[in-house]
Structure 1
């Protein structure tokens, strides 16, 4: 299934049903009087967050959603039927924005959460509503009220506990595959992942967390270079960032600073999140190179630098334990 995290759709709630003009015509009743019923209410448009979806790909093929019109009234004071609600199911973590892409209308961040985005129009009054002591035979009835309509943007932010960030070819996909059941593309030539990947990491029967692999950032991503920073929204909800630095590339300090700069330019509080720095691909370095690059990275960042290899598994359990500890603490907070 192709991953899609943004979609623009058109919505229109249902119009209200029309009221009617009608009079009683019953045998042996000399003065029947008005008995036109009201129109039924138009259908609402409701969004619901569900757990079994993880992409907005369905909205690429269906972009227009219209709720049904309410039923018209009829004689004998019968009200028209209310139109059914149009329920639109979206993945957990979906945000709904106005057409300006800045005004947030709803944030469906928990399973089962619902929001009535557009309300259906009210039904029009039948002529029975206008009967008075001085107007015994009103011939006025109203049309139903129109529904609401608008274009909206859907934006999906994956619900993950930890986010993998780093330059392209830092080994994020290999690391994700090594620690979870995810199966991202891995090859022995340089390339960058094009779509975010999710994996569930289980440390024990009672400890697990969701790890998101974000496509590699490059210098100038906040200005749209490469894939840009559009996927960083998926780690805004994370409790911790796992920053992988390619130790075999050599320029580890520059690589770390590049990602930190892009996180700061993006905003969203990412630069303030707890960060675990991992010097990756330790299997491709000599012990001397590993020690020197680890020390340089620790001096530049002012933080403890861990070492690991997604290929051999060296240092991976220690990294996962550090991530789990931060996540556990955030869940208790």
Structure 2
């Protein structure tokens, strides 16, 4: 089986590639893995260093919007796992164009090539943010999409395109939507690595608004396990939720990180709330649990402790990124 992993030098994509090549995911061992990554600010070849010498790994630097390149790269692959995306909400508020270009047009370019070359399966990796905000209960996979940021709107568009290629062309598409990821190798603009690296250096961390926004936290290893299950056994044309099972307010998360880094609350700096800030996300994971046997295995206490320890031990990875 030959896999193409777009965005495979990023945080989640590189974890998927490392675990694929190590044989630790619940899917068949690949005969070849091609990583396609543009290597923008959040793509980093150092993320693939642990598997660099695996003879099955090939790296291609390129843009998913480059139709000629994509046509050449997609040819001959059995499965595409599509991680590549612009994904930072604050950046999308400052300027939406790169998000629409990469997330919508880039996905369409990949889908066209996959259809043209008869790719066996297309796994489209998305986010819970496409649903907007939910005050009570949890979203099921058939919940209406109501994105509130340019980022989430672009991801919703790409989800709908992917599902349309299943319905129109019969392309074997499955869509995953995950909750907030954390873990090692995460670029230090996202909340957990930003807070951890700032606190380890004795700096301050920002807390939006009243800190009451609620997120479900998913360790990247559990996310990749869920994606592998969907890749292998998910039903074509279906959406599957992958969640971590632990909801925290941003204030509660900040308290845990401050304590884990040996800092005090004096390090926390209140800042005005983000524009259009969704109050709460919550995914119902009944479908993937009952159909595919998924369950999160990394509890948040253990996962956060391991994550803080990794950033403490791997300054050589993140200090150049923050510099």
| TM-score, normalising length: structure 1 | 0.31
Q: Which has the higher helix share?
A: 2
Q: Which has the higher strand share?
A: 1
Q: Which has the higher contact order (CA 8 A, sep 6+)?
A: 2
